Chain A
Amino acid sequence: MQGTPRRGLGPRPPPVNKWTLLLCSFILAAAWGQMNFTGDQVLRILAKDEKQLSLLRDLESLKPQKVDFWRGPARPSLPVDMRVPFSELDDIKAYLESHGLAYSVMIKNVQVLLDEEREAMAKARRLERSTSSFSYSSYHTLEEIYSWIDNFVTEHSDIVSKIHIGHSFENRSILVLKFSTGGSQRPAIWIDTGIHSREWITHATGIWTAKKIVSEYGKDGILTNILKAMDIFIELVTNPDGFAFTHSMNRLWRKNKSIRPGVFCIGVDLNRNWKSGFGGNGSHSNPCSETYHGPSPQSEPEVAAIVDFITGHGNFKALISIHSYSQMLMYPYGHSVEPISNQKELYSLAEDAVKALYEVHGIKYIFGSISTTLYVASGVTVDWAYDNGIKYAFTFELRDTGHYGFLLPATQIIPTAQETWMAIRTIMEHTLNHPY
């Protein structure tokens, strides 16, 4: 830097020993493995005439270079963009000002932008990976799950497709995976996870189950027979707004994120918003309650989307709605203790399913109707399903029984999914063998 001709550039900066500078540069370069642009700015200059343009060209011809033109001086009508290293900023700005060259700061700190970009790229790379590098034993964000869905559908397009059934209150897509080996409007099985956003183990179990289905098709006789005659639908993120919120602000958020004018609290309990015993015991009319049922049945877009889809389809034979926690397998009703007409059959099926589950890792589930096993709850999914002709309507409460509760360690994801699969498979098999 010493001995450089400084044509009209104001006071000389304090001399820096060039060896020190060289050493520092090497150290920096080694430490970062890349250039550092911290504090560098990009200035945009509008030259009024040729005279001003030539002043800028002077800067261009300085050796060593003090500025780095991103858009070089060409014509007076065109802006000139130049990156100015942090150490030269004061000098360059003084130069421009003293010559009446108007400029604006386009980029205040180049390094910040580079860092942001690097992060975005890393993020995109994570999202881009195929499903084989997706970790099934970790919890994921909404973006990661939606990205996995796209990869999954692409990789197994012979039997899986993605259906968009509606939008959430905050306008997120509501997606359903369809598993089908053909036919048209085959008798179908519905599985939903994540209707309560804080129940993270349910989404994780759903994803693993989807993967299990495609890998067992052609291998597991029972599953193969099921898919020969029936279709399976899985809605992994039934409450996407709530789920995004559990990642961003409140890990224990349960409801959706709907807002109503004049209402102080946010959100409706999506598992109290169904049209069966709506507004009864075990749900609340206070919007601030965690079991607020909403202003009317199906008022919530997340619920309405499913209702429209299932009734539009018209051929669903089983519905499984997955929650956590408590380790229970239950059938209707939630809104009353009155037994359903095929109570004996469902009791027996639940017993078999729970036994199959137990045989995997020794985890004990209790079973029975919702109202007699857990508590009275009105406007729940399975009650609606049953009243709409779906005879095999079940709801799970997955692990555990309160030790970790909603905050179930990720190490338990795969064991939970493995045992739950055996119960789901039992229910699906029974549905296949008892057509109606």
Chain B
Amino acid sequence: VDPKRGCKVDVVFSTERYNQEEGEQRLGKCSAHVFFKNQKPRPAVNVTCTRLIEKKKREEEDQLLYKRMKQLKVPLDAASIPDSRGHIDASLRPIWDLAFLGASYVMWEKTSQSLHYYLVQLSSVKQWKTNDDAIDFDYTVLLHEFPTQEIIPCRIHLVWYPGKPLKVKYNCQGLQTSEEASGTVEGSAVAPTELSNI
């Protein structure tokens, strides 16, 4: 591939269950082709994995997680998770997990050959609604951008119907630009997310 026009990266990795229990085996082996076209963000990703949790079991676990989340009392002034000292209250862990999921979508969309991101903190929760069959979650995160070292606040609104694709809308503030985008992601909230060819 002509380096001026694009950059191809081949990645081989193994996945593990998020919030893996002690002694659980590492899961699937995956290989991915990542293609950055013309220095633009939102690389094309083609992933194949073996030995993931089977679909039926995934759906069961999603339902369990959803039920647990419905019970959660989210303090609306829940700010700064984790706190300054890196601590996350055990009771607030599921919120962090879901926030992370939404943020990972945003980070994938923003990543380019020259810029990449890490999630620093869930800085505020605007809304946490569990009506009907869905979780409606409106929040702000802080992303740490490499190599610029900037801290980017992103407002994220996600809606999760277990069994249906995650819907994510976001709005990030950069130094110069303010970009907005939205999309839907295939995958469940529990097992390692399969990013289909988008």
Most chain B CB inside 10 Å of its own CB: which residue of A254, A288, A290, A291: A290
Q: Given the known A-B contacts A402-B118, A405-B120, A407-B120, are A251 and B148 also in contact in the complex, defined by CB atoms under 8 Å?
A: no
Residues in chain B near residue A282, CB distance under 8 A:
147
Find out whether the CB atom of B85 lies under 8 angstroms from the CB atom of A409: yes
> With an 8 A cutoff between CB atoms, is B177 at the interface?
no
> With an 8 A cutoff between CB atoms, is A134 at the interface?
no
- Residues of chain B whose beta carbon lies under 8 Å from any beta carbon of chain A: 80, 82-87, 118-121, 142, 144, 146-151, 175
Interface size bracket, A side: 20 to 34
Q: Given the known A-B contacts A252-B120, A405-B118, A406-B120, are A290 and B148 also in contact in the complex, defined by CB atoms under 8 Å?
A: yes
Q: Given the known A-B contacts A252-B142, A288-B175, A402-B118, are A407 and B84 also in contact in the complex, defined by CB atoms under 8 Å?
A: yes
Cβ of B31 to closest chain A Cβ, rounded Å: 21
Complex-state Cα separation, A265 to B144, whole angstroms: 19
Complex-state Cα separation, A247 to B85, whole angstroms: 11
Partner of A409, one of B87, B149, B150: B87
Find out whether the CB atom of B85 lies under 8 angstroms from the CB atom of A410: yes
Among residues of A, the one whose C-beta sits closest to the C-beta of B151 is A252
- Residues of chain A whose beta carbon lies under 8 Å from any beta carbon of chain B: 138-139, 200, 246-247, 251-252, 254, 269, 282, 286, 288-291, 374-377, 402, 404-410, 412
The dominant DSSP class at the B interface is: loop
5 closest A-B pairs by beta carbon, nearest first, are A409-B86, A402-B118, A375-B147, A290-B149, A407-B86
Among residues of A, the one whose C-beta sits closest to the C-beta of B142 is A252
29 contacts between A and B (CB under 8 A): A138-B85, A246-B84, A247-B84, A251-B80, A251-B84, A252-B151, A254-B149, A269-B149, A282-B147, A286-B175, A288-B175, A289-B148, A291-B149, A374-B147, A375-B147, A402-B144, A404-B82, A404-B86, A405-B120, A405-B144, A407-B83, A407-B84, A407-B85, A407-B86, A407-B120, A409-B82, A409-B85, A410-B86, A410-B87
Residues in chain B near residue A409, CB distance under 8 A:
82, 85-87
Among residues of A, the one whose C-beta sits closest to the C-beta of B86 is A409
Residues in chain A near residue B83, CB distance under 8 A:
407
Cβ of B19 to closest chain A Cβ, rounded Å: 12
Residues in chain B near residue A289, CB distance under 8 A:
148, 150, 175
Among residues of A, the one whose C-beta sits closest to the C-beta of B80 is A251
Complex-state Cα separation, A405 to B146, whole angstroms: 12
Residues in chain A near residue B119, CB distance under 8 A:
402, 405
Partner of B86, one of A254, A377, A402, A408: A408
Residues in chain B near residue A407, CB distance under 8 A:
82-86, 120-121
Residues in chain A near residue B150, CB distance under 8 A:
289-290
Residues in chain B near residue A286, CB distance under 8 A:
175
Residues in chain A near residue B149, CB distance under 8 A:
254, 269, 290-291
Residues in chain A near residue B147, CB distance under 8 A:
282, 374-377
Residues in chain A near residue B80, CB distance under 8 A:
251
Residues in chain A near residue B86, CB distance under 8 A:
404, 407-410, 412
Q: A138-B85, A288-B175, A376-B147 are in contact. List 7 more A-B contacts (CB 8 A).
A: A269-B149, A290-B149, A290-B150, A374-B147, A404-B82, A407-B82, A409-B85
